Structure 1
Amino acid sequence: MTYWESTEPGAGRRSPRADAVTDARVLDLSGTWRFRLAPTAAGTGEAFLGADFDASGWDEIRVPSHWVLEEITPLAGGPARSLLGTAEGPLYTNTAYPIPLDPPRVSTENPTGDYRLVFDVPADFGAAVLRFQGVDSCAKVWLNGRELGWSSGSRLPFEFDAPVEAGRNVLAVRVHRWSSGTYLEDQDMWWLPGIFREVELIARPEGAIDDHTVHADYDAATGLGTLRVEASTAATVEIPELGIRMPAGETATVAVAPWSADSPRLYRGTLSTAGESVELAIGFRTVAIVDGVFTVNGRAVVFRGVNRHEHHPRTGRTLDRETMLSDILMMKRANVDAVRTSHYPPHPEFLRLCDEYGLWVVAECDLETHGFIYAGWEGNPPAEPVWRDALMDRLRRTVERDKNHPSIVVWSLANESWVGETFGDMRRWLDERDPSRTVLYERDPSYRDSDFSSLMYPSLELLELIGRREEPRGGRVGMHGLVFDGSAPPVPASARSAPGEVSEADDERRRGLPFLLVEYAHAQGNGPGSLSDYWRIIRAHERLCGAFVWEWIDHGFTAVDDSGGEHIMHGDDVDYEPRGGRFGLHGLVFSDRTPTPGLVELAKAHEPFLITIDVDGVGGVEIANDRHSADTADIRWRWSLSEAGVEVAAGDLDVLPLAAGMRAQLPLPARVRALARADVGDPSVLTIEAVLADDARWAPAGHVLAWSQAELASAASWPHVPAVTLDRRVAASAPSVATAGSILHLGPGEFDAGTGRIRRLGALVLDGPSLDLHRAPTENDHGQGETNNIAAVWVKTGMDRMLHRVDAVEVADAMISVRGRTAPAAHPHAARWSMTWRVDADDARALVLDVVVDFEGPWVDTPYQHRDIWVPRVGLLFALPGAAAEVEWLGRGPGETYRDSFEGSRFGRWRSSIDAMQTPYPVPQENGNHVQTRRLRVSGDGIPDLRVDGMPEFDFTARRWTSLDLQRAQKPHELRDSGRVWLNLDAGQQGIGSASVGPALPERYRMPRERTTWSLRLSAG
């Protein structure tokens, strides 16, 4: 069998060792190489190995890079060009393999890249090691015509002893797109072959330090750190700040400050011999599970985490340091303190930055075999002894490279690879090699080889049970986690359970483990919802040690259409099967690293300080320090008071430093009580913020870490849902309705006598309203497959093709009442509505609109599955002149908000252009809603302002295209200005949820299909 189809991990390689920053000479071989793509694993043959081979006619390619993202000669021939969007280019799958499931064999059609570099080596360079930091998916290497060996394991380094010659050398590398390693790398990502990380020639002088291991424990009771550094040769350890100078292998115990994510204290030093010095960055910390609670340095840890793939919209998994640092700075500023390196070891520089800036790391091995689910897990590598060496090799290379990073506190064996005896071997090896860290494997329902119970995408109800250690016994494993449904009761303890089965002893042990939510809150498109709900549960139970959102970044590529315009390419844009569609667009930041509204919401849910404002009675403020170890000495506490969204006073709160885990009670500032007014007609809102007092490495002074608001006039703090009260008073001198032909006049309004639609409000021309029950489906509305696919139900039941009927336009008592019915073709369900217009009792220049909506009919998707139909919204749709351009509102902002995603947005007065209010999701969908709006003004050049007052609140959306336009568009550039502005003034819209992978939208965030009433006051001028 050929090497690229071997279940062995490689040949000719050196033993794996710690990544290190060294003063030994390093020749960076990155840059421009020669490259030729061939259709099979035979490549271009053997000629390119020769010293005198003429590669001048080959393509030039950057190393590191992925050839599918570069301009090269395609297999079909022709001029060099980008393969983006073609079947030869990047391919995206989620679970399915892009090759036949026939392990360990691959197809003859196996695109293979031959790389060639001619480079010079100084005469005094000496012995050398050739290191490849990452090659996808399998590579064979020759130096000066001599075969050095081969390796698989794409996201892991491999090294060869390199017999370089003084002067000219020729390095030849053959890289196969598909190999046996492909079966171990099915990780919900783009398939991107090539030499995508750096290639280095590292001098090995006499006395070189081949490997070293740092042991740096911390005793929280004494404040002492214990340091021992093991080395592959006799060497000296120096940590000047600690006064340590000792031989490697010896132990020193000194007083230290411990390392944690919120206080990433590193002690710098060196490990030296006569021939080489290696930098040391020591972080003292001790990881332990105590009574079912995960702790570091004696204190419980709760990961505020995200899953992170490596991705760049132009370079794929080839990232520079600046991009990695920008990710970390954005994470820290959004109160993210933990990263799961899904689903492979990242570039080593990223981990060095985690050490320096402070992120807890769950480091995952480069292993996922998810595609075997299509074979019923038959032949799954962890269960097949022939694959054992390859799996063990991936674990060893992960651990040995990254073992010295204090940020890594958990090793993860794999992702979504079901079960097998090899996982037991991996765990046993880890217990011997590195007992200083905990071990995670989520997919095995027995959790025998895991220190954590874990799960993906549980409902809020299930998470609450897990927190109380009351989850049902037994269960089964589905696509995305353990489903506790009693379908697989535990095997009796007397029976020997096979892999995948759960014994009574396993079940009992699992219940005592800390629980880690490795994936939740699927951030695909407009979402996720319920982040704060999840975190209220997590904070309430010490068993729950944190959660990781899926995921950090959208996996989209910047592509250019035929007209030269840029757009984001996703999996559905490639004509290849299987394909994972747009499922890869599931990030808290867009592909270009622009934050999404979901990141704003996450920052609020992750706040390290909990601020509670009590405005009842004497009033006061409670502050809780929810950090792991840092006190609040670096924090400035600010308050401000606003009336009708305008700040009227501000100041500082005097708060003594609070140790981690401590709380403090403070009275409300006297100025706040003196200034708060209950008679202004608009809310008096107190805001308290925790901001950085001084510049930090990751954010400037003034950066907000936490905040809270309370409405003083009504003694209400958010989140709240106010009771709707209708003011139906009619002015004593209200004008009667006048009729002039087909026009009805009421106060400042003109109405169509036949339809009851308003045509003019004062001098403002407008049209509407229509009852609006639909929205352009979000990615979460589409669910996963047929699971939770409410968008499909909406289509089947005509929610996007509602027809309106006016039953009556009645004039009486100085009011115009319009009654009608809205329903889809072919179905009996409908909404009956009435809209009553009257002149406002307090302002004759304004009209009040009272709306009542009732639902009739079965409201199930007859004749299909009789599923209950969710109504996405209950609201009104108006058409305004296209000149409308600006919006100002009093309510939540500045970004979009929904019923289950608004707590990260403050109450205030906000301004925006209508165009800027559109969230540019790469797949058009519902966006730009605003909840809890009290007042709205829409303005534009040459038209009167439209003013809308809630009675008391409403949702609004304003855009230049309709929801149906959004629904039909495949790309943002397909959305066209309709010449109007479409304004929704709604009683409400359903939440956004996380159903593209997670559970169905909770009932409390759906729009209740019951009698709905709301009122609005409208005026123009």
Structure 2
Amino acid sequence: MTGYWESTEPGAGRRAPRADAVSDAAVLSLNGVWRFRLSPTADGTGAAFVADDFDDSAWDTMRVPSHWVLEEFTPLSGGPARSMRGTEEGPLYTNTAYPIPLDPPRVPAENPTGDYRLVFGVPAGFGPAVLRFQGVDSCAKVWLNGRELGWSTGSRLPFEFDAPVRPGRNVLAVRVHRWSAGTYLEDQDMWWLPGIFRDVELLARPTSGAIDDHFVHAGYDPATGLGTLRVDCPVDAVVEIPELGVLMPAGRTASVAVEPWSADSPRLYRGVLRSDGEAVDLAVGFRRVEIVDGVFTVNGRPVKFRGVNRHEHHPDTGRTLDRATMIQDIVMMKRANVDAVRTSHYPPHPEFLRLCDEYGLWVVVECDLETHGFIYAGWDGNPPADPAWRDAVMDRLHRTVERDKNHPSVVIWSLANESWTGETFGEMERWLRERDPSRPVVYERDPSYRNSDFYSLMYPSLDLLEQIGRHEEPTPAGISADEDARRRALPFLLIEYAHAMGNGPGSLSDYWRILSTHDRICGGFVWEWIDHGYNAVADDGTPFVMHGEDVDYEPSGRRFCLDGLVFSDRTPTPGLVELAKAYEPVSITVGSAVTIANARHSASTDDLVFRWTLEDDETPRASSALAVPPLGPGETVELPLPAGATGHAGRGDLVLTVEAALADDTVWADAGHVVAWGQTLLTSTPARAPRPAPPGRAVTVDDGEVAVGEAVFDAVSGRLRRLGALELDGPWLDLHRAPTENDHGQGAINDIASVWRKTALHRMLHRTDAVSAGDGWLRVAGRTAPRTHPHGVAWTMLWTEDDDGVALEATADFVGPWADTPYLHRDVWVPRLGLLFALPGGVERAEWFGRGPGETYVDSFEGSRIGRYARTVDDLQVPYPVPQENGNHVQTRWLQLTGPDLPCLRVVGEPHFDFTARRWTSVALQEARKPHDLVDSGRVWLNLDHAQQGVGSASVGPALPERYRIPRERTVWRVRLGAV
């Protein structure tokens, strides 16, 4: 026997969906502490709990809004209060798979169900009321004062009931099922989190003149500068916008000169829609959204979305977010030059869109619909293709559009995510075009794009993206010539790219160079904004970040919930630093001249101040303001180098930096916040010519050691033992790094980490074949190779006495079958080519001149300036919740490592090198599951590398571009070392 929770209908008893509004009618928040009891099946606690006089004094308490799986309370089995986190009863994470059998619309008998009760008072004269739930996961049935009001699915969408409240005491009872037929429409790469997780409100409704809905139509003509305003309303009402002098009946149209709304100039005109019973706030943004000759435009100008995908997440409360957290997200986005959000994969809390209107973000609102898990059935029974689900699917679109239709920030509607194809998509498109012709529609997954105004893909390679920009991409399989011709005329929207999982993503600037070059491409959305990890505590009290792999449950998306540009606690990752550079709205190129281009959509640069600084590797030399004429959108100016920045002689590298910063405070940043910068090296220390290689001689041994200037070497292994008074060991040729999440690829696709493990790159054997020495020099030759396999690296290290230490010239020859290796039949690409040293554990501080201050890699360094930096060794580590390679620094000119009572080790590049320094080996980093597994080894392990391969974004995306791999060819590099 099935129940309502297994019905393909979307609900019953609900009011028609309507616009989100801020009204002067009374509102009674029902958020707070409710009574709660969790049961193992959909029967809940039975029928009695809805009665007025039901005794719930023995029940648990539950915060509303919240997810019960994230709260601490008495569990199903009874006993003391505990958290469900990390258990099969708690939060579950899947990426594509359903956590229940694929048997639509049925769900398991084991269906955790929460019964909620709230006793609340209603003041006399409150009047007729509406009960509104902003979000309940996944199905809820509601009773008020013992009377059944109805039920609803659609977790991230509001639903309302007429509420016959009485003055004084009222009793609200809600039964919430974890699993329902709606579950099959919500497979959205996220944690499954049941509960009443958004606000619950009682809304007073006037007995006459109630403004139950309204639709703001605010167009803009860029040719005349005139805005047209019409507000539709089902009752007699007046529209008043004092700033515009508008006072007119609803339904009439006014034409008036306005400043248009855009993400970089979010101009809102505040007003009111007033009837004889109610007043509703208006925040009107005038803009015109259209596609012209295959180009997406707003207000007559092309738009390039500098976007991110955003799930709602908090490390303690899940998808229950307060307003302060929403503002924090938006402020961080704006400061990182992000100007667009795709609400993956459901409409957000309505307050978020109100804030987007105010702060200025382009928004793609996505319907609460994804059926990705039907891929495991070969898409058989996919709801958008099954008429039985038609009403449920259409209901979700209606509720999305009606709620959010009045927000100027919303410029595109997305029908769904990863739900393959079906005739219902055609009906969704037809209804949407009739209801709201002012915005275009996107749906990415149908290869014909018959229901989309955009051609769209996820995670294309750089080469494919370039082809798309030139209209030269290959034709998708299974579509007709007419469909392909239509698709090629559409603008292209990169709906997801640059999977930000772990250390990465790489190539952000590469992607943006292509995105910004082609008119056909209207920008893209990085996946994604935030890691979905939860604050947790190990048995010994150690805090850690919980991810899907920490729950003993299958299926599991494992660690793929950790794929954000900010960590779960909203600490920025190095990836966000790189994205901020790629997304700069003002381009500053410093070379023989200073070229400044305004890439903003509609704002000039008159809100910015420009300044320059000149520094060498020791101290700042000069700085001043830079006079730049105001630039309109799309305008460029070329200026000579500042007079005060030229003619400086001196030693070392001389770096000129030009910045653009906010002139005044804004709602999202204070004056002085840097929005863009550019740099150039005016002078650079030339690399010294290497000393010629001397002829071989017999080794002179003194107590098993050989001295070259201040350096002392082991006579047998050739390893450096002391440099001046500094005890150390090494170097070893190092080809290994602890794999990043991107090195693991996606399943078997691009899984280069498994190749490294199979060839034991983490446990290479080193052999010294020859040591020869002479006056002021030492040559060591050897071979480094894995067990089992025939390939390896033959190397030599030539040490020569230097002015204040020793110079090292390292040569590496790749020998044997590194390409298409026997047995594996795979190419083996090494992640690192460099030198590994063991330093005393007392080394505490690193100071360097190069890129910084954060980690950088060959495909992710453009957001880090060249300069002089200092950090502790501990602060060089990036605390990824899954330990992996981190903390590299490219283009390092010199490095100094110091500690109490230790000589300073100084390394100088010829011309530069990569470095990492940490208190554990790369092998220990590879084997650790959590950051607290990493233990100080008693040494500092220093890598001085010729190169390390890029990080890419292959965890979901293309393979690492070959230009960011390390060539397997004869390689020579040089560094100089000294200890003071």
TM range (shorter): over 0.9
Look up the match of 1:712. Answer: 682
| Equivalences for residues 121-270 of structure 1 within 5 A | 121-206=122-207, 207-270=209-272
The gaps in structure 1 that reach 5 residues or longer are 476-487, 489-500, 715-721
Look up the match of 1:790. Answer: 752
SS in 2 for 1:537: helix
**Shift, 1:589, TM fit:** 0.1
Look up the match of 1:876. Answer: 835
Q: Measure, in 2, the Cα distance between the counterparts of 1:817 and 1:379.
A: 70
Do 1:793 and 1:861's aligned partners in 2 also have CA atoms closer than 8 Å?
A: no
2:938 is equivalent to residue 938 of structure 1: no
Q: Measure, in 2, the Cα distance between the counterparts of 1:956 and 1:238.
A: 63
Q: Measure, in 2, the Cα distance between the counterparts of 1:339 and 1:55.
A: 43
**Shift, 1:274, TM fit:** 2.1
Do 1:218 and 1:286's aligned partners in 2 also have CA atoms closer than 8 Å?
A: yes
Q: Are residues 724 and 552 of structure 1, via their aligned partners in 2, closer, same or farther at CA, if it must alter by over 3 Å?
A: farther
Q: Measure, in 2, the Cα distance between the counterparts of 1:177 and 1:337.
A: 35
Do 1:736 and 1:814's aligned partners in 2 also have CA atoms closer than 8 Å?
A: no
More divergent stretch after superposition (606-615 vs 977-986):
606-615
2:362 is equivalent to residue 368 of structure 1: no
**Shift, 1:724, TM fit:** 7.8
| Equivalences for residues 325-474 of structure 1 within 5 A | 325-473=327-475
Q: Choose the corresponding residue for 2:952, options 979, 993, 1000.
A: 993
2:295 is equivalent to residue 301 of structure 1: no
The percentage of aligned residue pairs carrying the same residue is: 72
**Shift, 1:428, TM fit:** 0.2
Q: Choose the corresponding residue for 2:702, options 719, 737, 740.
A: 740
| Equivalences for residues 312-711 of structure 1 within 5 A | 312-473=314-475, 475=476, 488=477, 501-615=478-592, 620-644=593-617, 646-675=619-648, 677=649, 680-711=650-681
Q: How many residues align?
A: 976
Q: Measure, in 1, the Cα distance between the counterparts of 2:647 and 2:767.
A: 54
Q: Are residues 132 and 24 of structure 1, via their aligned partners in 2, closer, same or farther at CA, if it must alter by over 3 Å?
A: same
Do 1:8 and 1:390's aligned partners in 2 also have CA atoms closer than 8 Å?
A: yes
Q: Are residues 645 and 710 of structure 1, via their aligned partners in 2, closer, same or farther at CA, if it must alter by over 3 Å?
A: farther
SS in 1 for 2:290: strand
Q: Choose the corresponding residue for 2:933, options 974, 993, 998.
A: 974
**Shift, 1:681, TM fit:** 3.9
Q: Measure, in 2, the Cα distance between the counterparts of 1:8 and 1:88.
A: 27
SS in 1 for 2:604: coil
Look up the match of 1:960. Answer: 919
Q: Measure, in 2, the Cα distance between the counterparts of 1:723 and 1:537.
A: 33
**Shift, 1:292, TM fit:** 0.3
Do 1:645 and 1:907's aligned partners in 2 also have CA atoms closer than 8 Å?
A: no
**Shift, 1:738, TM fit:** 6.0
**Shift, 1:368, TM fit:** 0.2
2:716 is equivalent to residue 750 of structure 1: no
| Equivalences for residues 907-918 of structure 1 within 5 A | 907-918=866-877
Q: Measure, in 2, the Cα distance between the counterparts of 1:67 and 1:300.
A: 45
Look up the match of 2:728. Answer: 766
Q: TM (normalized to structure 2)?
A: 0.98
Do 1:112 and 1:176's aligned partners in 2 also have CA atoms closer than 8 Å?
A: yes
Q: TM (normalized to structure 1)?
A: 0.95
Q: Measure, in 2, the Cα distance between the counterparts of 1:837 and 1:656.
A: 55
Look up the match of 1:496. Answer: none
Q: Measure, in 2, the Cα distance between the counterparts of 1:514 and 1:724.
A: 48
**Shift, 1:644, TM fit:** 1.8
Look up the match of 1:278. Answer: 280
Do 1:119 and 1:169's aligned partners in 2 also have CA atoms closer than 8 Å?
A: yes
Do 2:821 and 2:828's aligned partners in 1 also have CA atoms closer than 8 Å?
A: no
Q: Are residues 674 and 725 of structure 1, via their aligned partners in 2, closer, same or farther at CA, if it must alter by over 3 Å?
A: closer
The gaps in structure 2 that reach 5 residues or longer are none
SS in 1 for 2:743: coil
Look up the match of 1:1013. Answer: 972
Look up the match of 1:38. Answer: 39
Q: Measure, in 1, the Cα distance between the counterparts of 2:119 and 2:465.
A: 58
SS in 1 for 2:811: strand
Deviation per residue, 1:834-875 (Å, 9 max, x gap)? 0111101xx1x3100110000111125745441111100000
Q: Measure, in 2, the Cα distance between the counterparts of 1:302 and 1:43.
A: 50
Q: Are residues 449 and 949 of structure 1, via their aligned partners in 2, closer, same or farther at CA, if it must alter by over 3 Å?
A: same
Deviation per residue, 1:678-717 (Å, 9 max, x gap)? xx34221110011111111110111111100011125xxx
Amino acid at match of 1:697: V
Do 1:727 and 1:951's aligned partners in 2 also have CA atoms closer than 8 Å?
A: no
Deviation per residue, 1:726-757 (Å, 9 max, x gap)? 522699xxx99863211111110111111111
2:70 is equivalent to residue 66 of structure 1: no
Look up the match of 1:118. Answer: 119
Q: Measure, in 2, the Cα distance between the counterparts of 1:144 and 1:230.
A: 35
2:884 is equivalent to residue 925 of structure 1: yes
RMSD: 1.4
SS in 2 for 1:463: helix
**Shift, 1:799, TM fit:** 1.1
Do 2:217 and 2:230's aligned partners in 1 also have CA atoms closer than 8 Å?
A: yes
Q: Measure, in 2, the Cα distance between the counterparts of 1:639 and 1:46.
A: 73
Amino acid at match of 1:994: S
Deviation per residue, 1:333-365 (Å, 9 max, x gap)? 000000000000000000000000000000000
Deviation per residue, 1:169-203 (Å, 9 max, x gap)? 11000000000000000000000000000000000
Q: Measure, in 1, the Cα distance between the counterparts of 2:425 and 2:516.
A: 32
Q: Measure, in 2, the Cα distance between the counterparts of 1:865 and 1:172.
A: 62
Amino acid at match of 1:92: Y
Q: Measure, in 2, the Cα distance between the counterparts of 1:304 and 1:203.
A: 41
Q: Choose the corresponding residue for 1:848, options 807, 822, 827.
A: 807
Look up the match of 1:87. Answer: 88
Q: Are residues 536 and 704 of structure 1, via their aligned partners in 2, closer, same or farther at CA, if it must alter by over 3 Å?
A: same
Q: Measure, in 1, the Cα distance between the counterparts of 2:191 and 2:549.
A: 12
Deviation per residue, 1:282-320 (Å, 9 max, x gap)? 000000000000000000000000000000000000000
**Shift, 1:671, TM fit:** 1.4
**Shift, 1:275, TM fit:** 1.6
2:860 is equivalent to residue 901 of structure 1: yes
Amino acid at match of 2:752: I
SS in 1 for 2:419: coil
SS in 2 for 1:712: strand
Look up the match of 1:495. Answer: none
Deviation per residue, 1:882-901 (Å, 9 max, x gap)? 00000000000000000000
Do 2:139 and 2:177's aligned partners in 1 also have CA atoms closer than 8 Å?
A: yes
